[in-house]
Structure formats: structure tokens, C-alpha cells
Amino acid sequence: MSERVRIHKALADAGVASRRRAEQLVIEGRVSVNGVAAGIGQLVHPSRDAIEVDGLALNSSQERVYLVMAKPAGVTSTVSDRHAGRTVIDLVPVALRRRVTRVYPVGRLDRDSEGLLLLTNDGGWAQRMLHPSHGVEREYAIGLERLLEPDQQRALEHGIEMEEGIARLFGLRRQTVTESRMLAGVIGGETKPVHWYHATLRQGMKRQLRRMFAAVGNPVRRLVRVRFGTLSLAGMTLGDVRELTTAELRQLEQLTRRRAAQREAGRGLIVSLDGPGGSGKSTVGARAATELEYRFCDTGVLYRGLTWLAVEHEVDLDDPAALARLVPQIELAPDDNQRYVRLLVDGREVTTELHTAAVDREVSRVSQHAPVREALLPVQRRLAAPGRLIMAGRDIGTVILPDADLKLFLEVSVEERARRRARERGLATDVRAQEQIEEDLRRRDSIDSSREAGPLRVPEGATIVHTEGNTLDETVADVVDVIRRAERNERLQ
């Protein structure tokens, strides 16, 4: 028995039009279900209901077509565009176009970009190929006029802030000799010298790579998509269009099935938990992780450990290179509940020595250095990779894990934070001590918010958890509730 779907999805899956255009057809009164005019958002059974568009029966069982194209530059990735000289549909052989009512691109390559582009009339398949939750990566060859400077490469690897959020790429590297031969066979030789790099995207921001490289002052001269999931551009030349083989379709589907199996097996989410100093990130995150049977990582322990170690060894706290050299000596370790809140220095545990006023005063001074944050970045990302983790800090959702499944931010006033910290230290009745704590927190907020490397801010798309006046139990319950709702939504995708 078929499942009920929204009318615009049924029309898109049948190849009638895009979802947006399908909604317009419904608004215009051109769609009926069982003889009655359809309504926006109406649920239908595509295989059981009589759906008509302009009086013609919807053929939801029409032949499905899956094409791969080596798109040349100058061709627009749309079905029709009166301003475009040529669209990708113009490159599809007439014999293929005659077999089905409509095919459309799976995502886009901008007009000036080249390489792999998929086309289909299967809306459900297109969605699986594009949605980040299904894990289908896209790899690009990026041609630059100049080699990347070290600071440019570091900035790209850390992520570039854009209006839509933090844009990230993975595996940025120089192109290999073998890859150069393959690319030359597809696009031909270059008339001018160009330096080729490769990088992988898991996001889908508009003109993302071009905008990222322009932001670091090294604009893209030529951009070629060389891989889409398991599908490679090798063996094609620009302008080629062919149907995917059964084996290629099966390999692409296996990618999405593996991701679905991970969700069913309870992979859980990767959750970023940000907030200012003293907001309770560590306590709330650890308690929520225990209740949800998640792992927990307090990244603040890393920075506190590095600060403590630097003070112990009398390392200049304003010498970022010297501080970064200390990173291999520290290690985050889990406790019995899989909470990464213990710190080892050369194998010796020093966790109890990290929460002192001296460390409180200096940790922001240490953490503001870009080389320090760069040295600790891979440590944190390796911990997060297996999933089912809550990671707490001040730039988790913005820099460390910008693609986290769920981003949370704890919001609370500095006065409330100072009162809480004073109680933790047994100083609830000491007014002068509480004033000093508040002063330290304000100074730390200023440093954290204004630093160039990973400044404290609310991540794009984050859920704000307001904790002012809450008990710890109430805040933990709120966080657990948000994560459980996100888990349910993840399983439904």
C-alpha cells in the first residue's frame, strides 16, 4: 500500500513539475483529486487516488530516468530560462527526452562551472541525493591563478562565515598527477597556467566554493565537479550525457541506505552546546548526555588544561606558537559514563587543578590565539565523528562543528552566572567575592566575543535555551526535550 504524500510531492515525483511549480498548479485550480479540485498541502495516495492535471490523468508509474552529464561552462542548470542561451535540457539527446514527460537537474552547477550533473524525473531519488542527512558528498577540482598561502588555506579549512551560516569544505589538498591526467582528458589542456586543488562539499550553499575562495582573496578561475557520491567524471568529456548504469544506481542508493541504517541503529545526533562562561554548559551537557546515553565532551577542559600547563611551565601566554607546541602533551579522557571531562598531561590526571581563579583569569587569554585553536580543532572533530555526542564550548556550533545535527545555545545574564559560580565555590554570602567573579566573567565575555579566532556568538540556526531563573533540573529537562524532538525528526527524514 502506498503512503500518503502531499499533492505537490506527488506531482513532482511523477515528473510533472518542480514542487514549487506543482504548488502553483494547485493554486491555479489545474489539479484535481478524485474529481474534486485539490488544495494546497492535501494528502493523497498516488497509486490509489485519481489525480488529474489539466484534465489528464497523472501517470505516477511512468518510466524513471536517471542521467549523468558532463556539463560544459556557459550552460545553465535549469529546465527553462528565457535569459539563458542554453540550458542543460538542450544537451539531453532528443531520443531520451521523448521517452519521458520531463527531466530536471538534481541540484545545480552555476553557469560558469563544469562537470558532473545528475538529471532525473524521480523526485524522491533527487531528494535522497541532495539532502545532507543522506551523506552524498560532492568533490570539486578548483583551479586557481595563485597557490594558496598558508593563512588562506587555514581560513578555508576552518570555515568561512556567510549569510547562510559557516561554509565549510573537507579535504582541501593539491591535485595529484593521476587526477591531473583524468581532468585533462575531460576538459582538455589549459591555455594559461592554473594551480589545481581538490575539496569536498557536504553543504549546498549557492556558489559556495567561489564565494569561499573569493573571501580569502584567491578567486576561483575554473571549477569542475569531479565526483558525486560514488560517481566519477572519469571517462567522460564535456557535453556527454548518458544514462546511469544499474551498478552506478545501486552504489548511489547504498550510500543513502547506509546513512538510514545508522539512524535506525541509534547513531544519535552530534549536538553542539554553546554559551558564555559560567552559563552551565558543562553541567547541563553532562547531565543531559547521561540521561540520553550520549557521550559528552567539554572542550573547555582542553583550554583550561593548556592554560594550566603553560602556567606550570612558565610559558609566555602571549606566545601562540609556544602554546600550540604544548597541545600534544594534553589528552581528554572519558569517565565511567563516557563523559570526556578528565584531562591527562603526559598520562597524569590533573582535572582537579583546572578550576581555580588563576585559570579562570587566563584561559581566555590563551584561547584567543588562532594557532592554539587550530592545534585543538582536529582533536575535537575526531571525538565528534562517531556521533551520539554532546559537545560543549564557546564556538562549537560556529567553528568546531558547524554541520552539527543540532545546535543549542544557553542564554543567561552575567549576574545570574556570577551568583551560580559563587554558590559552586561556597561563596554565596561573600559579596566582594561575587563581585570579583562577575567582573572576571564580564572581562572574559568581552575577550571571547571580540577575539578574531572563533568569537563567541549564537550559531546560525541554533535553538536558544533560556535558563534565567531555572533550576539545574529544569534546564537539563529542556535540553533533553529539544534533543529528543530532533532525534524523532531525524528518524522521519
pLDDT at 266: 54
pLDDT above 80 for 173: yes
CATH of 270-492, picked from 3.30.565.10, 3.40.50.300, 3.40.50.1970, 3.40.630.30, is 3.40.50.300
Q: What is the pTM of this model?
A: 0.51
The amino acid at residue 132 is P
Render pLDDT for 217-252 as a digit per residue (tens, 0 to 9). Answer: 999 999 999 999 889 998 899 999 999 999 899 888
Query: Which DSSP letter does residue 408 get?
Result: E
Give the pLDDT band of residue 449 (cuts 50, 70, 90): low
Q: What is the mean pLDDT of residues 21-30?
A: 85
pLDDT at 118: 94
Using the predicted structure, report yes or no on whether residue 483 has a pLDDT greater than 50: yes
CB 421 within 8 A of CB 441: yes
- The answer to whether 23 and 40 are in contact (CB under 8 A) is yes
Fold exhibited by the domain 5-57: 3.10.290
Hey, where are the domains in the chain?
Answer: 5-57, 66-262, 270-492
Percentage of the chain beyond pLDDT 90 is: 24
C-alpha cell at 492: 522521519
438 or 196, greater pLDDT: 196
**Averaged pLDDT, 113-128:** 86
Residue, of 420 and 405, whose pLDDT is higher:
405
How many whole angstroms separate alpha carbon 74 and alpha carbon 94?
Answer: 20
Tell me which of 277 and 340 has the higher pLDDT: 340
- Mean pLDDT calculated for residue range 405-427: 81
In CATH, which superfamily holds the domain spanning 66-262?
Pseudouridine synthase (3.30.2350.10)
State how far the Cα of 314 lies from the Cα of 472, in Å rounded to an integer.
37
> In this model, does residue 265 exceed pLDDT 70?
no
Higher pLDDT, 257 or 262: 257
Task: Pick the most confident of 123-127, 165-169, 390-394, 431-435.
Answer: 390-394
Report the pLDDT averaged over residues 57-75. 82
Length of the chain counted residue by residue: 493
pLDDT at 209 over 60: yes
- Of 105 and 20, the structure prediction assigns the larger pLDDT to 105
According to the model, what pLDDT value does residue 448 have? 66
Q: What is the residue-averaged pLDDT of the chain?
A: 83
State yes or no: pLDDT of 102 exceeds 60: yes
**Mean pLDDT, residues 471-476 taken together:** 87
- Phi first, then psi, for residue 248 (nearest 5°) are -65, -40
pLDDT score of 253: 84
Mean pLDDT on 434-462: 73
Most confident residue range from 145-154, 363-372, 406-415:
145-154
pLDDT of amino acid 1: 39
Q: How far apart are CA 219 and CA 208, in angstroms?
A: 12
Burial annotation 304-315 (CB, 10 A radius, 16+ → b, else e): bbbbbbbeeeeb
Q: Which residues fall within 8 angstroms of residue 1, CB to CB, at 6 or more apart?
A: 45
